[in-house]
Structure 1
C-alpha cells in the first residue's frame, strides 16, 4: 500500500538519519553525568496524516519546539542549550559564570540564577575575570587627547600627526625640534606699530638688585621663586651674594635675629641690669687667668668668622647654619597606647586598649621669648591662637568661653641657641645647633628646662626639625632638678602659618 503523503515520509527518513547521526556522535563523546539522551516515541503508520506531537517534561520545565515550527523541518539540537553533542558540566567559577550568561541569553533565568550563585560562591571576583577575558581594555580603542588645546600658542608645534603607540623621542630630537620655537611677545597697543619692549629688561642691574633685595627681606620664599621667571633672574638669585649677605645678617629671617645669650627672664620680662653687671664682673674679675672665660663675640663678628666655614658663600650659610624660624611654629605629635579597664557590670573576655594622642607646640619670637603649650587639641584649632595677646587674655582662666580658651594652659618662656661657651672643646661651627628653652612650671616654685637639637628633615628642608636632648624640672626653693623621661615624646617639626606673616 503506497503512502498517501510522500513528503511526510521523506521528512521522517531525514529525521531518522539525523537522530542516528547524533546518537553515534554522542556515543563517541564523554557521557555527561546528568540526564540521558532525549527519546521520542515511535511514529505509528496509523497516524500518517498527522504530524508527530512533541512531549512536554513538566518536571524540568523544558519546552520542545514543534517540528513544523523549525525552519526546514529540523528538530532542536540540544534540549539543554547546546549546539551539538552534550557538553560536560562546568568545573571552575569562570565556566559557571559563562554558562550562566549563556542560559540568561536563552531565557532560562532559573538556571542562570543557580549558576551565578555557584560561580560567586567559588570566586567572589569572577565577574571581573569574565570581563577581562571577554572584554579586555585593549579591545576598546583609547580616545586620543585634544592634539591642539585651545589655550596653546600658535607657535607650539601641532602633535596631531604623532602616533599614540610610537616610541618616545629622545632628548636630542626634542631639542632639535623645538630649537626654532619662539615666545610671541605681547601684541602692540596700536596695530602696525612696533611692540613695546619688556619693562624689566630695560632696568639697570643695580636697580634690579635693590628690588630683589627688598623682596628677599620681606619673604625669602618669594625671592627664590623669582628664579622661575627666566634664566637671567635664576642666575641673579643663585649668584648675587650681596642679597644673600643682607638676608644672613638681617634680623628678619637671618642670624641677626638669633640669640646666643639669654635676652629675657623666664616669665618674659627684661633681664635686670644688676644681673648683667654681675655677669660682666664674673668674666673680668676671675681668680686666675686660666679660669677666665673668653669674651663672647658679637653676632656680627661670629657671622663674619663663619663665612669661610660655609665655602665662602652666604647662600650656603643661610641654608646650612642652624637657625630658628619665626614665620610658623614647631609641632610634636605624640601617640602611645595604654591598657584600659573593663566594665564592672559586664563580663568581657578582652581588656580594652586606649590610644592616647596629644600635641606639644613651640612658637619662638624675635625678642627671645617663647610660648609652650601641651594639649590634646589638633593643630588646626590651636596654631592661630599662639599669640602673646591671647596668652595674657586667658591667663588665670579668663575668657574661657572663647574659641581661643586652649591658651589657658600656655606657658611663658625664653630661648637661646648654643655657642662656644656651652661646648668649649668644639670649634665655632660645630658648637652651634642646640636650642635651650626655659618655661614656667605647673606652679610658681617650678620651671621647666628643655634642650633640643636642630636637625634637617631631608635634602631640601634644613633646620626644620627639633629633636629632644633632655627635659628637666627645676625646683626654685630647694634648687633640685629632676629629669623627665622621653619614652613617648617625639621630635618637633616646623609648620609655616600664613597668619603669622614674617613672624613677630
Structure 2
C-alpha cells in the first residue's frame, strides 16, 4: 500500500516542477514514479477525481444545511413553534436584506472609502465590488475609482527623457489627456504600464545534444534539457533588478530586492524607461558593465496575457554597445517572454 502512495507523491512533485518550468527535474521525478508503479498516472488521476467529487459533495452538504436553517425544519423546532414568516416562500426567505449602514452613508463617503481601497490594491477593489450591489455600482459604474487608480499607477511610470525633450513634451499627463481625455476606464485598457507589486519571470527550456563518450557502444547521442530563469523587478524611481539564474522562483522571489541585491553576484541593477513611440508600450532596460565598458540594451514590448492586462513582456531586441560605438546584436531564438507574477511580500514604493 505504501508503494502507490510514494509513487503518487513523486508524480505530484514532478507536476509541481513542471509547473515551475523545471522540465529536467520533472522528468526525473516522473521516471522515478513510473519505475515504482507503471500505473501511477492512472492512480494520480483517480486521486484527483476522488478529491473533486469529495469537494462537490461537501458543497452540496453545506448548501443543504443552509437551506434547512432558512426553512426552519422540524428538527430545529422540537416544540412545533412557527415563526411569523411561516407563510413566506423559500425564495422570499432567501431575499437579501438591505445594508442599513450603507443606506445611511452618502455616496461621497462611500466613494472616499472605495478610493482608499483602490490605492491599497486592485484585488481589494474587485473584492469590494462583490460585497453588495451598492458597492458594485460605485466601484465599476462611476468614473472616480478609475481616475484614482489611473493617477496612482501612471505617475509611477518612467518615460524616456530624451524622447520627451525632442518632442517638446514636458508633462506626460497632458499628452495622455489629449489622447484619452477624462475617459480613465479606456485609458487603463489601452495605455500600458509597468507593475511594481510583483516580479516578471521568463522560463527558458531548450534541448542540447551531447556527444557519445569515447569507447561507448551506444548509438544514441545523449540529450540534455536546459532550464534557466530570467527575472525583472521594477521600481518607480527608474531602477530595476535583473537576474539570470537556474534557481527556481520559490528560491529567488522572497529575497529579490534592492536591499539584498548584493547577496547575489549574478544580479544587476539596471535603469528602465518607456518609449513615447509605438503606443507607449516599448520598454528599454539599460545596464553598464564596468570591466569592459559595455552598455547593454534590452528592448521589450508590454502586452496582455489573456485577460490580464499588461502582464507580459515580449522580446524585441537585445544588444551591447562598445566604447567605440560598435554594436553587437544577440540572438533571441531561445528566449521566452516574461510573465508577471504577483508577490504578497512586495510593496509598491
Bin the TM-score by the shorter chain.
0.7 to 0.9
The DSSP-based 3-state class of the residue aligned with 1:214 is helix
The corresponding residue for 1:261 is 160
Equivalent in the alignment of 2:339: 493
How far apart, in 1, do the equivalents of 2:203 and 2:101 lie? Answer: 49
Question: Structure 1: how far apart are the matches of 2:96 and 2:240?
Answer: 53
Any stretches of 5+ residues in structure 2 without a counterpart?
Answer: 1-56, 74-88
How far the C-alpha of 1:498 sits from its partner, in A, is 0.7
Could you list the runs of 4 or more consecutive aligned residues of structure 1 that deviate by over 6 angstroms after TM superposition?
Answer: none
- The whole-number CA distance in structure 2 between the counterparts of 1:256 and 1:361 is 24
Are 2:191 and 2:279, in contact at CA under 8 Å, matched by a contact in 1? no
Mapped pair 1:445 → 2:293: yes
Structure 1, residues 334-359: CA drift from partner, whole Å, max 9, x if none? 11111112233533221101111111
Cα distance, 1:497 vs. partner? Answer: 0.7
| Offset of residue 317 of structure 1 | 1.5
Counterpart among 468, 475, 494 of residue 315 in structure 2: 468
Greater share of helix: 2
Residues 150-169 of structure 1 aligned to structure 2 (within 5 Å): 150-152=65-67, 154-155=69-70
1:246 maps to what in 2?
148
Q: Is 1:214 the counterpart of 2:116 in the alignment?
A: yes
Partner SS, residue 112 of structure 2: helix
Alignment TM-score, normalising by the size of structure 1: 0.51
Instruction: Decide whether the 8 Å contact of 1:213 with 1:243 is kept in 2.
Output: yes
Q: How far off its partner does 1:371 sit?
A: 0.7
CA distance in 2, matches of 1:323, 1:349: 53
Q: CA shift at 1:307, angstroms? A: 2.1
Residues of 2 paired with 1:178 and 1:457: CA distance?
43
> Which residue among 298, 304, 312 is the counterpart of 2:171?
298
The answer to whether residue 307 in structure 2 is matched with residue 434 in structure 1 is: no
**Structure whose CA Rg is larger:** 1
Q: Are residues 1:231 and 2:133 paired?
A: yes
Normalising by structure 2, we get a TM-score of 0.72
- RMSD (Å) for aligned C-alpha atoms: 2.8
Instruction: Measure, in 1, the Cα distance between the counterparts of 2:63 and 2:333.
Output: 60
Please show how residues 163-178 of structure 1 align to structure 2 within 5 Å: none
Task: Give CA-to-partner distance per residue, 1:219-262, whole Å, 9 cap, x none.
Answer: 12201211111111111111221222122112xxx111111125
How has the CA–CA distance of structure 1 residues 153 and 480 changed in structure 2, closer, same or farther, with 3 Å as cutoff?
farther
Q: Larger relative CO (CA 8 A, sep 6+): 1 or 2?
A: 2
Structure ranking higher in strand proportion? 2
Q: Which runs of 5+ in 1 are unaligned?
A: 1-142, 159-176, 187-196, 263-275, 284-292, 395-406, 424-429
CA distance in 2, matches of 1:499, 1:210: 26
1:202 correspondence with 2:109:
no
